[in-house]
Amino acid sequence: MAKLVVSEFISVDGVMEDPGGSEGSARGGWGVQFNRGAEGDKFKLDELISADALLLGRKTYEGFAAAWPSRTDEVGFAGKMNSMRKYVVSNTLRNPEWNNTTVVGGDIVGEISKLKQQRGGDLLVNGSCMLVHTLIESDLVDELRLMVFPIVLGMGKRLFSDRPHAWPFRLLDSRPMGQEGVLVVRYEPKREKS
């Protein structure tokens, strides 16, 4: 069974919107002003290398598909991004052009539950705010990996929706990355044992 891992760059106040600045929002690019250090780069590379597939919402997928196919690097990050299986959640996308992409539509919760049953390695989610809300609210997330940047944005798309509900998590690990206060925290849902 696959482990569904949501990995996000977030601000201290939980904003995940446009950390790299490629979405064109007024506050975009807040994550690039901090150096996460060599250990932060290694964490992201190791995370990607260990993943079996990407699961993305349509907007994040379109941004990645526009950027990654033309990229190369010496450590293999771009090669892995471009070669691995990708699942994009959309009811409107018909012909994805990025290689190894399958469109998931219809009963999204049911389809992702099936994906988790079929796959053996991690199913990695980046960005994809609306999809992440659905995954958390449907209890499909097995691990949250958050790279928390020392900035408060006050507004923007947030990791958790405004729906009134409590989702308890158990801390797996926390560690600083670089010298500028970036922190990686890993959580798993605190589920009732049957």
Q: What is the pLDDT of residues 95-104, one digit of tens each?
A: 999 999 999 9
Q: How many domains does the chain have?
A: 1
DSSP the chain: -PPEEEEEEEETT-B-S-SSS-S--TTTTGGGGS--HHHHHHHHHHHHHHEEEEEEEHHHHHHHHHHGGG---SSSHHHHHHHSEEEEE-SS-----STTEEEE-SSHHHHHHHHHHH--SEEEEES-HHHHHHHHHTT--SEEEEEEES---SSS-BSS-SSS----EEEEEEEEETTTTEEEEEEEE-PPP-
pTM: predicted TM-score of the whole model, two decimal places:
0.93
**What is the domain-level CATH number for residue 125?**
3.40.430.10
Q: Is residue 177 part of a domain?
A: yes
Domain holding 185, by residue range, is 4-189
Q: Is residue 43 part of a domain?
A: yes
pLDDT digits (tens, 9 = 90+) for 44-71: 999 999 999 999 999 999 999 999 999 9
Q: Is residue 108 part of a domain?
A: yes
Q: Is residue 55 part of a domain?
A: yes
pLDDT bin (cut points 50, 70, 90) of residue 119 is low
Q: Is residue 194 part of a domain?
A: no
Q: Is residue 120 part of a domain?
A: yes
